[in-house]
Structure 1
Amino acid sequence: MSEQLLSVDKLGVDFTRRRTTFTALEEITFSIAEGETVGLVGESGSGKTTIGRSILGLVPPTRGTLTFRGEDITHASRAKRRELSRDMQVVFQDPYTSLNPSLTIEGILAEPLRAQGIDRREAGRRVKELLDRVRLPSDAAGRLPREFSGGQRQRVAIARALALRPRLIVCDEPVSALDLTTQQRVLDLFIEIQRDTGCAYLFVSHDLSVIRHVSHRVIVLNRGKIVESGGVEKVTSDPDDPYTQRLMMSAPLPDPGAQRERREELEKLRVDSERAA
């Protein structure tokens, strides 16, 4: 069995706005093993992105504990977070805004390396390796982000996340801004990278079909709480919770006839749920 990498225990996050406290997360508990992908899925506002941001130290937890490689990082200092960045990285949703438009691709990829004290020559060598890893041409190093398509920019973002050879990458809706064909290629790239490097992913998405493609285990969130979790085949093919069933039924299908039947099933689920309530 793989060693446990990250443990989230009874995580809770509250936000206060205009003297009103809103609970974004409540009693969130799960773990990620070395080399494993755990998918977080739910609709907008379900709390899935807040979980990722809490793990990265961008949102302070109100309750609970976060443990990474056996160390409590719940309230890690800024200096400790800089140290953790070697082992914990992120790929954001939008490849158009997550890259500095004024830096060349080489500058973007070398920046985290230089910040960790890696000399210029070694950083240059690593940049070439990273471009090859995400299947971008070597001449991409001297170009600016605006010269690339959305899929290519996301490959640059993935390369930047890989620069420090992290143990865990938080993937926050990394393919939602891409067309379906490009999504498939980028998802396959994530899988290939994991197979070759052994890194773990926390993969956040609103799309159950995306989660099914990349995950080993799945956690379903609704209104800040876990409503279902388990192995990917069970949760994405035969879910128990009505909310997960609705998510599965709402996923788009290429066949119009099959899509129409799915909409009818989704409507039946909605009616049954309202009657049960």
Structure 2
Amino acid sequence: MSLLEIQGLKIGYGRGRRAKEVVHGVDLAVDTGETLGLVGESGSGKTTIGRAVLGLIPPLAGSVTVAGRPVTGSMSKVERRAHAQAVQVVFQDPYTSLSPSLTIADTLSEPLKAQGVGRAEATARVNDLLDRVRLPKDAGSRLPREFSGGQRQRVAIARALALRPKLIVCDEPVSALDLTTQAVILDLLIEIQRETGVGYLFITHDLSVVRHISHRVAVMYRGDIVEQGETRSVTGNPMHDYTKRLLLASPVADPREQRQRRAAWLESRATFCGGVAAGT
């Protein structure tokens, strides 16, 4: 059994006749120590799947299982507490996801205390977390506004690791960072995975990011998985036109190549939206 198993997942919003299904029978899996990149443009349904994995949205149909435990909208308080220990999240914007009035030490110790960890052990765990994300121990006494975007994302990663989860949902965790800082944060996530065996469901719109960190990739378009497989295969020889379009949208450092890719993307957009690729 995989660490994360999603089978026939359907998710919708609204009730009655106004209910709208936004995820249509999706199957996904993530193993221990593995990263699955879930890729798609805004509105594709990828973040909705992430919220379902976190237990924030009940499915219309299908199932979500983490470490052998079902994730449902009717979980008891005890079950939700166990789920919070097993699954954590890193959001896109670390500044808005961190309380501006709490020191970093208080931010990192908060989930530990909520789980009944004593003060002395919490302090030791906070120091270990800061070391793991390569921040100095005196960072614990500072506030989020005193850090750069990359440093704040390190804090967010440390907070996600606080309860030693088996799975972390990474929801666009580097999209707000410059390319150099993105690479550093991705390398940090890879190193943490090697050390801890944590699995990642890595949600992003950028296939170049997926190529850097993911073992496998699933491409999502309008609520459906249109292509899925090993990262090297999907990004090196994409079969679906939507995947090819996403590859053209990925940023590169060379300005000339970026302009060429932008022109090709605009051309593919006209073709794709015109319906040529819609049925492939």
Change (3 A) 1:272 1:49: closer
Task: Give the SS at the match of 1:171.
Answer: strand
1:74 deviates by 2.8
1:5 correspondence with 2:18:
no
State the alpha-carbon separation in 1 of the partners of residues 190 and 200 from structure 2.
10
Task: Give the SS at the match of 1:82.
Answer: helix
1:205 deviates by 0.4
Aligned length: 275
* AA in 1 matched with 2:258: Q
- Counterpart among 47, 59, 70 of residue 45 in structure 2: 47
- Counterpart among 52, 65, 71 of residue 73 in structure 1: 71
What do residues 155-201 of structure 1 show as CA deviations (whole Å, max 9, x unaligned)?
00100000111100000011111122111111111001001111000
1:132 deviates by 0.3
* AA in 1 matched with 2:14: T
Moved over 6 A (4+): none
State the alpha-carbon separation in 2 of the partners of residues 263 and 58 from structure 1.
36
State the alpha-carbon separation in 1 of the partners of residues 264 and 150 from structure 2.
34
State the alpha-carbon separation in 1 of the partners of residues 136 and 40 from structure 2.
36
* AA in 1 matched with 2:43: G
State the alpha-carbon separation in 2 of the partners of residues 172 and 78 from structure 1.
26
Q: Is the Cα contact below 8 Å between 2:66 and 2:86 reproduced in 1?
A: no
- The within-5 A match list for 1:172-251 is 172-251=171-250
Task: Give the SS at the match of 2:95.
Answer: coil
Task: Give the SS at the match of 1:140.
Answer: helix
1:222 deviates by 0.5
Change (3 A) 1:142 1:276: closer
Q: Is the Cα contact below 8 Å between 2:57 and 2:73 reproduced in 1?
A: no
The worse-fitting range, judged by mean Cα deviation, of 209-218 and 174-183 is 174-183
1:271 deviates by 5.6
Task: Extract unaligned runs of 5+ from structure 2.
Answer: none
- Counterpart among 10, 28, 31 of residue 29 in structure 2: 31
Task: Extract unaligned runs of 5+ from structure 1.
Answer: none
1:259 deviates by 2.6
Change (3 A) 1:21 1:260: same
What do residues 77-96 of structure 1 show as CA deviations (whole Å, max 9, x unaligned)?
14111221111100111111
The worse-fitting range, judged by mean Cα deviation, of 191-200 and 80-89 is 80-89
Normalization by structure 1: what TM-score?
Answer: 0.94
State the alpha-carbon separation in 1 of the partners of residues 92 and 15 from structure 2.
25
State the alpha-carbon separation in 2 of the partners of residues 151 and 120 from structure 1.
28
State the alpha-carbon separation in 1 of the partners of residues 236 and 71 from structure 2.
35
1:253 deviates by 2.0
- The within-5 A match list for 1:12-161 is 12-16=10-14, 20-79=18-77, 80-161=79-160
State the alpha-carbon separation in 1 of the partners of residues 202 and 83 from structure 2.
19
Query: Percent identity at matched positions?
Result: 58
* AA in 1 matched with 2:55: G
* AA in 1 matched with 2:225: I
State the alpha-carbon separation in 1 of the partners of residues 161 and 170 from structure 2.
12
